[in-house]
Structure 1
Amino acid sequence: MELFKDKYSPALIDRTGNQLHQFYPQLQTQQFRELVFAEGWEALEFKARIRRITESLTQVLPADYEEALHILEQAAPQMRGVEYLFVPDFIEVNGTAPDKYELSMKYLTVFTPYSSSEFAVRPFIQRYPLKTMKHMMEWTESSDEHIRRLASEGSRPRLPWGAKLGEFIVDPTPVLPILHALRQDESLYVRKSVANHLNDISKDHPNLVLDLAKTWYGQHPHTDWIIRHASRSLLKKGHPAALSLFGYHKQEAVHIENLKLDRDQIATGEDLHFSFDVVNTSGEPQMLRLEYEIGYMKANGKQAPKRFKCSDKMYAEGRSKVATKQSFKLITTRKYHPGLHTLTIIVNGQETETASFVLEAD
């Protein structure tokens, strides 16, 4: 599997140098290559490699900031995708001084349709919070979905790979007008960002997001989608108010029976197949969110629970059979430890039946 950092191959760096050389013939492509792949390159991770490339560009492009930006602007349509994050990063490295602020704001929006400026805008929020948030509110009215998304994504308090915006983690109210302006956005790309932003906020301020959800829910199909996606962490935690908002009420007349594992011992790399019956004795269909929780054995001999979604639909009166599986294939984000594991079925946030199995040593 290719790692993000491996995208920065010699071929990509040579291509970048040649693309920029078209618009700035004085650029020394060999010098650029040598600067990028200088000592220590192999040890650098993804974000550090972006910064190395940015610093190398700073040395080979004109010292005049505006002239350098104009060259990058001309080449930008040929440099699309996550691997070209060093283009907006050029602004973060070279453009945070007060006399460069307005030019930097302009070019963050120029570059973001090609390679998102969501990381590069964050130092400006931290250094110039009031006027940067004013710019971001203006971006919510752009006809370009990439610029509208930048307003939401760039101000996310816990943006993955990005510097945390500590003030917004403590008090997210300054960003709420941006999210409110985008709550019915026609672009799914933008709506996903708004939902992810609200999901971030819910981790520190669940009641704020729930209050907002209650106010917004039912206004527009796009807004309903945002609220549903934004509430996924609250739903996964079984937050009663979040469950109730979407019609998942505590069920006294719904039971789980016949929880069965296809085996009680499995090896790393295999799938655990299991099934159970949903028994609805309420006399009418019930909206049920079914999840299961795996208690993974840790190195210290204790279990760490991880919850997974199973189904989310209306269940008829009577008995319904559910069968699914959980993979124990090796993945980079989880290390498996041998020993006793547990499987628990969750119905509308309530734990029900549990079974145990053993993950065998390699």
Structure 2
Amino acid sequence: MAEPLKYMYNDRFFKQLTRHCTDMIPGFNAAKFNANFSTPEWDALELKQRVRHVANAMAAQLTGKYKQDIKAVTFLIKHIQKELGDVSTFQHIFLADYIEQYGIDQPVESLKAMEYATILSSCEFAIRPFIVKYPEQVMAQMLEWTRHKHASIRRLASEGCRPRLPWGMALVAFKKDPTPILPILEALKADPSEYVRKSVANNLNDIAKDNPDVVKDIIRRWQGSSKETDWILKHGSRTMLKKADEHTLSLFGVSAVKSVQVKDLAVKNVSIDIGGELNFSFTLAHKEPTPTLLRVEYMIYYMKASGTPTKKIFKVTENTFELNRSYAITRKQSFKDMTTRKHYPGIHHIAIVVNGVEYEKIDFAVK
């Protein structure tokens, strides 16, 4: 099992950080700083709490005058970047957290500092309170960032304004009306960096959850621009596609079919343990009169703690299937607990879905 991420803050990290801070922050007291991380209170903290604790411990070594302190923090960021090179490290996200906590009343200085901090460790979480408090000012700055030479800063323009960023505060105003986001996505739709394009797709997927018609309009306008932009559209539409939205499917050339059969759906074991693996197979018989684009998926009906089922869909393939042929398909699905999904015992179901239509379904037990 992988070590919890909170342990990234270890003795080696603090030794390096203390050295950097001593070099770049006048009057930095290494002993007082390190005393914050050898207490029972520190041991009990989880990841996000540790990030904030490190940020606050560093702030305690500063003057308390933000316009002066942010200059020292920016010099610190540049100093660390010079040693590490052009890499991003999650460990240093406490620097973004410092800006979020202490710089909210100084947007000009804070946004400038984020340009440096987001290269070292993304400011996608830290910038969100600034968007809420100064929406026009910050969104104008983010549009300017779409033209920056560094991909991490261009990505911040998109990732920072996602309406539903995981683990970040929701941008309620943008969930209601995503219009301010659209010029940023438009500017980045053909970005040369895959890192940036993936963020654009994730932003579209967020928007689609509350404003699907906005994304459908974007699909119609962008589709065919380039292979890379088409990938953004497909990835950004994944929630609508998984919901088998008929209009969205048709925009990608996936239409209703009449002469497709799903046969012989079977699971290898009708009972599996939590932590185990479901192995299943089925046959897809394609009887359409012409080769047809088929989106083949399987849907798991998971048992929740309440005893009611919840559905989650997984893609098998999306391909053109030849006429009058049968295709044998086997897949496996892990039932290991994850941070995003916990499994519960009970009767589960698996169903095969073709072009948004649910076909054969069978039961299996999880214990």
TM-score after normalising by structure 2 = 0.92
Name whichever of 102-111 and 170-179 sits farther off. Answer: 102-111
Query: Is 2:18 the counterpart of 1:10?
Result: no
Query: Is 2:34 the counterpart of 1:26?
Result: no
CA shift for structure 1 position 267: 2.6
CA shift for structure 1 position 190: 0.4
Name whichever of 180-189 and 292-301 sits farther off. Answer: 292-301
- Within the candidate set 76, 84, 89, 1:81 is matched to 89
CA shift for structure 1 position 62: 4.1
SS in 1 for 2:210: coil
Aligned to 1:124: 130
Name whichever of 52-61 and 10-19 sits farther off. Answer: 10-19
CA shift for structure 1 position 81: 0.4
Deviations 1:331-354 (A, max 9, x none): 343333322211100001110011
Deviations 1:187-241 (A, max 9, x none): 1000000000110111111111111111111112221111011011111111111
* Segments ≥4 residues shifted beyond 4 Å: 36-39
Query: Is 2:147 the counterpart of 1:141?
Result: yes
Which amino acid counterpart does residue 43 of structure 1 have in structure 2?
A
Shift of the 124–269 alpha-carbon distance from structure 1 to 2, 3 Å rule, reads closer
Contact 1:36 1:56 in 2 (8 A): no
Which amino acid counterpart does residue 58 of structure 2 have in structure 1?
L
Contact 2:36 2:42 in 1 (8 A): no
Aligned to 2:69: 65
Which amino acid counterpart does residue 87 of structure 1 have in structure 2?
L
Aligned to 2:293: 287
Distance, in Å, in 1 between the alignment partners of 2:39 and 2:273 is 44
Shift of the 299–135 alpha-carbon distance from structure 1 to 2, 3 Å rule, reads closer
SS in 2 for 1:167: helix
Distance, in Å, in 2 between the alignment partners of 1:117 and 1:335 is 29
Contact 1:23 1:74 in 2 (8 A): no
Shift of the 262–38 alpha-carbon distance from structure 1 to 2, 3 Å rule, reads closer
Which amino acid counterpart does residue 230 of structure 2 have in structure 1?
D
Aligned to 2:206: 200
CA shift for structure 1 position 39: 5.5
Query: Is 2:174 the counterpart of 1:178?
Result: no
CA shift for structure 1 position 36: 4.3
Q: Map of 1:238-277 to 2, 5 A cutoff?
A: 238-277=244-283
Percent of aligned pairs sharing the same letter = 40
SS in 2 for 1:251: coil
Aligned to 2:306: 300
Name whichever of 321-330 and 175-184 sits farther off. Answer: 321-330
Which amino acid counterpart does residue 6 of structure 2 have in structure 1?
K
- Within the candidate set 198, 220, 235, 2:226 is matched to 220
Which amino acid counterpart does residue 232 of structure 1 have in structure 2?
R
- Within the candidate set 207, 210, 218, 2:216 is matched to 210
SS in 1 for 2:306: coil
SS in 2 for 1:319: strand
Contact 1:14 1:29 in 2 (8 A): no
SS in 1 for 2:120: coil
CA shift for structure 1 position 174: 0.8
Distance, in Å, in 1 between the alignment partners of 2:167 and 2:271 is 38
Where does structure 1 lack aligned partners over 5 or more consecutive residues? Answer: none
Query: Is 2:104 the counterpart of 1:96?
Result: yes
Name whichever of 160-169 and 332-341 sits farther off. Answer: 332-341
* Matched pairs, number: 358
SS in 2 for 1:203: helix
Which amino acid counterpart does residue 40 of structure 1 have in structure 2?
E
Deviations 1:68-111 (A, max 9, x none): 234323323146401110112221122222xx322212111112
Name whichever of 282-291 and 294-303 sits farther off. Answer: 294-303
Which amino acid counterpart does residue 348 of structure 2 have in structure 1?
H
- Within the candidate set 334, 347, 353, 2:354 is matched to 347
Aligned to 2:197: 191
TM-score after normalising by structure 1 = 0.93
Deviations 1:233-289 (A, max 9, x none): 111111111111111111111111121222322233332222111111112211111
Aligned to 2:238: 232
Shift of the 324–8 alpha-carbon distance from structure 1 to 2, 3 Å rule, reads same
RMSD over aligned CA atoms reads 1.8
